[in-house]
């Protein structure tokens, strides 16, 4: 199939980024015009030599200096800092920007990309959690699409193809794998170490999203992401251990449409890049017989109470979702460094939510101010 698509990949060295490049390797029509990472000069150099983008950028200044020397024999421009990330997001030649950086760092480049009329293939859920009201309004104003990469949201998006009236949606059913600690009590999780929490049963992802999956914070962020993507806040979370039903939409007539597939992020990434078309994909057929049965359970919001905090934050709106997200970012960072206990992650989120007053319709500046304030509370724990 003839297919051409020029893209920019923010976070090309990460889990989503490298899988995006795998798809570009398969479909040569996908051309990479810019790629970025935080500090991984080794891998970004290799990727740059293979895909020959116009611009590469590393946020870390000294890593960027090193990369500039390494790529001196090429015509590839090397940029740095937050400006470099924005430069990659607005590069003239790209039509779509894949946002695969981690955390609130995705917000500013995504806003810049929308203002430059790029479609967004959105993996960075934190962008919608923190700035959903700004980003969705800008996407409408500039007439660009926000195409979900997160597997659950891609499943909902796929299930909604053919739905002409969003009033026909009764509720969204987000599935959750339950993570490595499904069935455990809070007491049993007291001494969890980073290496315990980094073992996800079904998905191989970056460290932050893996820890978030184990605490169900990831599901909480996804609830807020779904609200912004689909304009519906009637959202039910179900634990589905096999990660085969990637999510579902229940309509007013009680019909339910789901998207199923093997747990493989390449499909949602590829669909966001080829939408509304579908292209063949190797090695990810769903083997129904291998699974045999599919199970569904209520989430345990006593052990994993960050999920309830996320629903509360979504209902409050304003700055609360940012506080939820930023407290979690700081808490996960501390947990991975051995400075906070596993159960301390949910406690930290609760503490920041209690301490920070809400602001309705926050500006980007107020969002970053709340980000700083939330981190300060957590670092002080
Ligand atoms: P990874 O940690 O694997 O990769 C993150 C990428 O972003 C790397 O390229 C990293 O560079 C770069 N990066 C990290 N911090 C910053 C920063 N502060 N500023 C700029 N760039 C930065 O993450 P994932 O690929 O797992 O996740 C990316 C996003 O996609 C997250 O928002 C996650 O929630 C979402 N997502 C991920 C899924 C998955 O399967 N992995 C599934 C669904 C959603 P470097 O390598 O130099 O550190
Ligand atoms: Mg997901």
Helix, strand, coil percentages, rounded to 5, for the chain = 50, 15, 35
Decide: 16 in ligand 1 pocket, CB within 6 A: yes
User: Which string of DSSP letters, residue by residue, matches 177-227?
Assistant: ---TTTT--TGGGTT--HHHHT--SS----HHHHHHHHHTHHHHHHHHHHH
Q: Are residues 112 and 32 in the same domain?
A: yes
- Each residue's pLDDT tens digit, 75-95: 999 999 999 999 999 999 999
CATH number at residue 341: 1.10.1740.10
pLDDT value at residue 92: 96
**Site to substitute for ligand 1 among 15, 32, 102, most atoms within 8 A of C-beta:** 102
Check pocket membership of 206 for ligand 1, CB cut-off 6 A: yes
Q: Are residues 176 and 111 in the same domain?
A: no
Across the chain, mean pLDDT equals 97
Q: Which atom of ligand 1 is nearest to the CA of 125?
A: 32
Is residue 101 within 6 Å of ligand 1 at its C-beta?
yes
For residue range 92-107, what is the model confidence (pLDDT) as tens digits? 999 999 999 999 999 9
First to last CA, the chain: 56
Whether the ω angle into residue 330 lies within 30 degrees of 0, i.e. cis, is: no
Asked if residue 280 is part of any domain, the answer here is no
247 and 183 fall within a common domain: yes
55 lines ligand 1 (CB under 6 A): no
Instruction: Tell me which residues have their CB within 5 A of the ion that is ligand 2.
Output: 150-152
Domain count, the chain: 3
Q: What is the mean pLDDT of residues 190-200?
A: 94
**Which residue from 12, 14, 156 has its CB within 8 A of the most atoms of ligand 1, so it is best to mutate?**
14
Q: What is the pLDDT of residue 203?
A: 83
Rounded distance from Cα 2 to ligand 2 centre (Å): 30
Residue where one domain finishes, among candidates 99, 115, 148:
148
> Same domain, yes or no, for 169 and 115?
no
Exposure class string for 345-377: b at 16+ Cβ within 10 A, else e: bbbbbbbbbeebeebeebeeeebbbbbebbbeb
Within this chain, do residues 334 and 252 fall inside the same structural domain, yes or no? no
Please tell me the distance between residue 209's alpha carbon and the centre of ligand 2 in angstroms: 9
Give the ligand with the smallest distance to the CA of 109.
1
Mean of pLDDT values over 142-148: 98
328, 306 in Cβ contact below 8 A? yes
pLDDT at 2: 63
Q: From the CA of 208, which ligand is nearest? A: 1
Is 250 within a domain? yes
Helix (H) or strand (E) holding 69: helix 61-70
Same domain, 354 and 259: no
Same domain, 212 and 300: yes
Which one-letter DSSP state was computed for residue 296? -
Counting other chains too, the contacts that 350-354 makes at CB distance below 8 Å and 24 or more residues apart are 350/305, 350/306, 350/309, 351/327, 351/377, 351/378, 351/381, 352/323, 352/324, 352/326, 352/327, 352/377, 352/378, 353/309, 353/312, 353/313, 353/320, 353/323, 353/324, 353/327
Q: Are residues 119 and 78 in the same domain?
A: yes
Answer yes or no: is 22 within a domain.
yes
Q: Is 312 part of any domain?
A: no
Q: Is the same domain home to 19 and 122?
A: yes
Closest C-alpha residue for ligand 1 atom 42 = 150
Kindly indicate the confidence band of residue 204, based on its pLDDT and cuts at 50, 70 and 90: confident
Task: Name residue, tokens 């960075």.
Answer: 124
Question: Using alpha carbons only, how large is the chain's radius of gyration in Å?
Answer: 20
Q: Assess if residue 82 is contained within a domain.
A: yes
> Does a structural domain hold residue 277?
no
In a domain, 26, yes or no: yes
Q: Is the pLDDT of residue 58 over 80?
A: yes
Q: Among residues 91, 118, 148, which one ends one of the domains?
A: 148
In order of 61, 62, 295, the CA distances from 146 in angstroms are 30, 33, 31
pTM of the model: 0.98
**Count of all residues that appear for the chain in the document:** 381
Whether residues 39 and 106 share a domain: the answer is: yes
Give the closest residue (by CA) to ligand 1 atom 36.
Answer: 123
Q: Which domain holds residue 326?
A: 317-381
Q: Which residues lie below 8 Å from residue 228, measured CB to CB, with a gap of 6+?
A: 128, 132, 133, 135, 136
56 and 119 assigned to the same domain? yes
**Do residue 113 and residue 144 come from a single domain?**
yes
CATH (domain of 11): 3.40.50.720
* Among 12, 15, 64, residue to substitute to test ligand 1 (most atoms within 8 Å of Cβ): 15
Using CA positions, which residue lies closest to atom 48 of ligand 1? Answer: 38
Q: Is residue 375 part of a domain?
A: yes
């Amino acid at each position: 199939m003839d297919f051409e698509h020029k893209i920019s990949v923010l976070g090309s060295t990460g889990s989503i980024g490298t899988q995006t490049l795998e798809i570009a390797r398969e479909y040569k029509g996908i051309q990479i015009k810019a790629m970025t990472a935080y500090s991984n000069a080794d891998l970004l150099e290799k990727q740059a030599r293979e895909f020959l983008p116009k611009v590469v950028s590393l946020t870390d200044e000294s890593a960027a200096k090193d990369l500039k020397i390494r790529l001196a024999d090429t015509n590839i421009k090397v940029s740095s800092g937050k400006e470099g990330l924005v430069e990659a997001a607005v590069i003239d030649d790209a039509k779509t920007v894949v946002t695969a950086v981690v955390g609130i760092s995705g917000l500013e480049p995504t806003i810049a990309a929308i203002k430059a009329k790029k479609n967004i293939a959105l993996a960075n859920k934190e962008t919608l959690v923190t700035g959903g009201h700004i980003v969705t309004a800008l996407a409408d104003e500039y007439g660009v699409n926000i195409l979900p990469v997160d597997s659950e949201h891609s499943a909902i998006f796929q299930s909604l193809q053919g739905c002409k009236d969003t009033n026909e949606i009764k509720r969204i059913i987000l599935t959750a794998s339950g993570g490595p600690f499904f069935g455990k009590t809070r007491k049993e999780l007291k001494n969890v170490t980073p290496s315990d929490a980094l073992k996800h049963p079904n998905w191989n992802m970056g460290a932050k999203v893996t820890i978030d999956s184990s605490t169900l914070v990831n599901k909480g962020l996804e609830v807020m992401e779904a609200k912004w993507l689909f304009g519906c806040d009637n959202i039910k979370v179900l634990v589905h251990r096999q990660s085969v039903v990637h999510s579902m939409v229940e309509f007013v007539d009680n019909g339910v449409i789901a998207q199923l597939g093997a747990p493989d992020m390449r499909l949602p990434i590829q669909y966001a890049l080829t939408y509304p078309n579908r292209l063949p994909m190797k090695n990810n057929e769903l083997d129904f017989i291998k699974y045999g049965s599919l199970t569904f359970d209520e989430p345990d919001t006593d052990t994993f109470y960050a999920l309830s905090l996320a629903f509360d934050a979504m209902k409050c709106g304003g700055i609360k979702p940012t506080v939820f997200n930023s407290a979690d970012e700081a808490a996960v960072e501390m947990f991975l460094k051995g400075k906070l206990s596993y159960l301390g992650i949910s406690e930290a989120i609760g503490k920041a939510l209690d301490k920070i007053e809400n602001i309705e319709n926050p500006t980007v500046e107020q969002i970053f101010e709340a980000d700083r304030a939330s981190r300060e509370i957590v670092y002080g724990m």
